[in-house]
Each structure stands twice: as structure tokens, then as C-alpha cells.
Amino acid sequence: MADKEKEFRILIAMLFEYHISAPHADFYNITPKVCEAIAKSGVENGIVVVYCPHTTAGITINENADPDVVRDLLIGIGKAFPDRPEFRHAEGNSAAHLKASAVGSSATVIVSGGKPILGIWQGIYFCEFDPPRERTFFVKVVKQASV
């Protein structure tokens, strides 16, 4: 590239905020909201980041075809991270913090043709571990840079 030539990349990112009522511990399918954010953004190709700003909830991608999978995940994570009498956190929700740390607070998905690239059985879930709560999650849609 010549000294006087400059490369310009245009990066477009749109942030969407959603609210969810979580009356009980569950994996709430938020895939339709993520698709809605992508559609509103007008982004055809890029990435979408789904983020949970809470310490006792998380975001994951897993099967959305058989509801028994979510049930089994809740059973398994409950057994892996049970409440323990030796926990010292005053709120009494240390198990929820452990579950949220294990699951993670975000997921990133490729966007192609204006849709998230997910496997045929996959869905994006908001994971509530400390109910009942009113929660927020964010969806950031980033357009593929162009030259």
C-alpha cells in the first residue's frame, strides 16, 4: 500500500437491551429475541454477542428441540453445584454464583444472511439460577467490516 493510501474499515454495531421475568430456575429460550435484534439491525453478515450482566445468571447455547434436555441440564448443574452449609456468602446464593460462573455470561454467534448460524437443534438460552428475578440481557450486533 502506498504511503498516501489509507485503508478504511467501517464497523457498525448496534446494542439492544431486553428484559426477562424469571420466576423460577430455568433456561429461558431467547433465540427469538436475538433474531429480532439482528433483523432490527439490518446486519446481513457479522457477529452477534449475547451478554448477561448478572452474577447469578448466564447465557448458553444448547438443544432447543427436546425440553427434557433443559430439565436434565438443570438437574445436572444442581448436582454439580449444590448449596453447601459451609458457604459463607450472606445472601445464601453461592450455589447460583458457581452455576453462573460455570455457564458463563455471554455467547457469540456468527451472523450470515441476516440470521444467526446455529445448529439445527440449537437455541440461545438465558439461564436463571437465583429466582425469582427480573433480569436484563444485551444483544450487540456487529456488521462485518468492509474496506
Tens of pLDDT, residues 92-135: 789 999 999 999 999 999 999 999 999 999 999 999 999 999 99
pLDDT, mean of residues 25-52: 97
**Cα dihedral 18/19/22/23 (nearest 10):** -160
pLDDT of residue 1: 47
* pLDDT tops 70 at residue 10: no
Alpha-helix runs per DSSP H in the chain: 31-41, 67-80, 94-103
The answer to whether residues 141 and 51 touch, using CB atoms and an 8 Å cutoff, is no
pTM comes to: 0.89
User: Strand locations in the chain, DSSP E?
Assistant: 13-22, 26-29, 46-51, 57-63, 106-112, 115-116, 122-128, 133-143
- Give the pLDDT of residue 3: 56
Cβ 29 vs Cβ 124: under 8 Å: yes
Classify residue 8: in a domain, yes or no: no
Residue 78: inside a domain: yes
**Res 79: pLDDT:** 96
Mean pLDDT value across residues 73-85:
93
| Helix or strand holding residue 10 (H, E) | none
Q: Which domain holds residue 98?
A: 15-143
Residue 3 lies in a domain: no
Q: What is the CATH number of the domain that holds 107?
A: 2.60.120.460
What is the Cα–Cα distance from 37 to 32, expressed in whole angstroms? Answer: 9
**Residue 66 covered by a domain:** yes
Asked if the structure places residue 89 within a domain, the reply is yes
Is 10 inside a domain boundary? no
Cα distances (Å, whole numbers) of residue 34 to 49, 90, 92, 140: 9, 35, 32, 9
Q: How many domains does the chain have?
A: 1
pLDDT tens for 44-77 read 999 999 999 999 999 999 999 999 999 999 999 9
Residue type, 58: G
Helix (H, G, I), strand (E, B) or coil at 8: coil
Does 113 reside within a domain? yes
Task: Specify if 126 maps to a domain.
Answer: yes
